Amino acid sequence: MGAGRRGDIEMQIQDFRKLKKAFDEYVAGFDDCIKTAPSRGHMRSYLRGQMGPLPRKSIEPIALEAGTSPRTLQEFLSIHRWDHEAVGQRLRGMVRRDHADENAIAVIDESSFPKCGDKTPGVQRQYCGATGKIDNCVTAVHVGYAAGSFHALLDADLYLPEIWASDLERRRSARIPDDVVFRPKWRIALDLLGRSIAEGIRFRWLAADEAYGGIAAFRQEVAKAGLIYM
C-alpha cells in the first residue's frame, strides 16, 4: 500500500471518529425524551441504520446490522412509548439556538409512502410523490427550515383523509385519538408553521408549491404572519 493511500484511509478513519462523536453528542440531547435505556439504544440503532450505507433502510436490515432482533426494533417503533412532542420541541430549540438567521426560509412540502392494504392510519388511493402517480399510500406534511447552507426539518404531521376521519370504527381499530379531526393539507401546514413560530423560530420567507399557493386562506394566513411567500 502506498503512503498516499494509507494517509487517505487514516483521514477517513479520523473523519468517521469525529462524526461518531458528533452523532453521539447530538442524540444524547434527546435522551430525556425517551424513558428507558433499551429504547434509547434502539433509537441509536435505528438512526445509525438510516444514516449508513444500507441499500434498504427498512427494519430488518437495520436491526441485523446492529445485531438486534428485527422484532425488537419493530416493537420500539410501533409500541414503545416516548415523548415525540418533546423530541420536536428539543429539535426546534436547537435550530433556534444554533442556526437563527434573519433571512431564514420556511419550506412547506409533503412526502408520500406507498403502503399495501387498508389498515395503516391515513392510507388511501391518492397522489403519491414516491411513485409519481395515484397510488395506495399515506401522506405527511412537513415544515422545513433553510438558512444559508443549513437546512433541517422542523415538524411534520400525518394527513388524515376525510374518509378516515368520519369512520369511527376504522379510527378506533387503528387507535387514532378521538381529538384528531380532518384538516386539509394547507391547514396542517399552517398549524405546523404556527407551532414553530410560537416556539421562537423566526422566518422571513416561505416557499410552497401551487397546491398551497392556490388556497387564498393559506396565503392570507402566511401574510398575517409577516412572511414573504413564493
Taking a C-beta distance cutoff of 8 angstroms, is the pair 203, 105 a contact? yes
* Residue 19, pLDDT above cutoff 90: no
- What nine digits make up the cell of 26? 447530538
List, for residues 144-176, the tens digit of each pLDDT value: 999 999 999 999 999 999 999 999 999 999 989
Predicted confidence (pLDDT) at residue 6 exceeds the cutoff of 70: no
Q: How many C-beta atoms surround the C-beta of residue 85 within 10 A?
A: 10
CA distance 230 to 222: 10
Q: What is the mean pLDDT of residues 116-131?
A: 92
C-alpha cell at position 186: 394547507
The CA distance from 73 to 213, in Å, is: 40
> Is residue 12 classed exposed, middle or buried when 0-12, 13-18 and 19+ CB atoms within 10 A define those classes?
exposed
Highest-confidence range of 5-9, 77-81, 130-134, 205-209, by mean pLDDT? 205-209
pLDDT in tens, 28-82: 999 999 989 999 999 999 998 888 888 888 999 999 999 999 999 999 888 888 8
SS3 131: coil
So what's the pLDDT on residue 80? 81
In the chain, count of helices (H) and strands (E)? 10, 6
Distance CA 28, CA 218 (A): 37
Q: What is the pLDDT of residues 177-228, one digit of tens each?
A: 988 999 999 999 999 999 999 999 999 999 999 999 999 999 999 999 999 9
Give the separation between CA 101 and CA 148, rounded to whole angstroms.
8
Cα–Cα distance for residue pair 125/139, rounded to 1 Å: 10
| SS3 of residue 69 by DSSP | coil
Higher pLDDT, 179 or 9: 179
Question: Is-contact 145 104, C-beta < 8 A?
Answer: yes
pLDDT score at 97? 96
In this structure, are residues 154 and 144 in contact, taking their beta carbons and an 8 Å threshold? yes
pLDDT band at 89 (very low <50, low <70, confident <90, very high): very high
* pTM of the predicted model as reported, rounded to 2 decimal places: 0.85
